[in-house]
Amino acid sequence: MKKLFAVLSVCAVLSCTFCSCSKDENSSEDNPMMLTVNTEQLDKSIIQPIFDYYDGFNNNDPDLVMDSFNPKSIMEQMKENGTYEEEIANTNNNIDLTHQMWTEKYGENPKLEFKEEIQNTHLTKEYLDLAKKYFEYTYYDMDIDFEIEDGYEYQFKYAITGDNSSEENNETTCIVKIKDDGWKLVFCSSEMLLSYMIDEDTTSESSENQENPTE
């Protein structure tokens, strides 16, 4: 789970500062890897994982932070293999370190605040497949047997405020709906998801070479 810790640590310190994906006016029906900006804002039920993630950091609640981006089946596997408490402890440590950093920069009582939506784009099936690969890579030692039904790339404005000062920034992330589970954060923009577009033949050949190394 070292990759998971690395992802969480980066998000805790930088508050999910992701790269945004450039958009084109062409329809995704013509090009499945092209995304079109939606004209309506997303319902709060879809973006609830963002609020859960922020509330978890604001209220020192590692369980809430973990639940915002961990699929239910992954959480259950953690509990079964005895790693859940370690994950919670590491998440709690990241929260504490982040609060210390924020306090030094913004003063006492720092907190994350969601400000407003900038734009959202509906992810095509091709991007949902790449999101599945993201989970497979992140949880490489777990069984990834869930189905991703829907998803969005979401750009929004947030602020970190303390007693002395505050700072506003934009961030971009993806949110996906897992069947029989709900909406979960994916710490990638759609552009970053493209990095999971792996050539299956190359991957298969690489695996065979590892199993049968030449002498």
Q: Is residue 5 part of a domain?
A: no
With 0-12 / 13-18 / 19 or more C-beta atoms within 10 angstroms meaning exposed / middle / buried, residue 21 is buried
Q: Is residue 65 part of a domain?
A: yes
Q: What is the domain-level CATH number for residue 84?
A: 3.10.450
Q: How many domains does the chain have?
A: 1
Q: Is residue 7 part of a domain?
A: no
Q: Is residue 35 part of a domain?
A: no
With 0-12 / 13-18 / 19 or more C-beta atoms within 10 angstroms meaning exposed / middle / buried, residue 29 is exposed
Calpha distance 68→99 (Å, rounded): 19
pLDDT tens figures, 98-150: 999 999 999 999 999 999 999 999 999 999 999 999 999 999 999 999 999 99
Q: Is residue 51 part of a domain?
A: yes
Q: Is residue 69 part of a domain?
A: yes
Domain with 171 in it: 43-206
Q: Is residue 19 part of a domain?
A: no
Q: What pTM does this model have?
A: 0.79
pLDDT tens figures, 2-14: 444 344 444 443 4
Q: Is residue 190 part of a domain?
A: yes
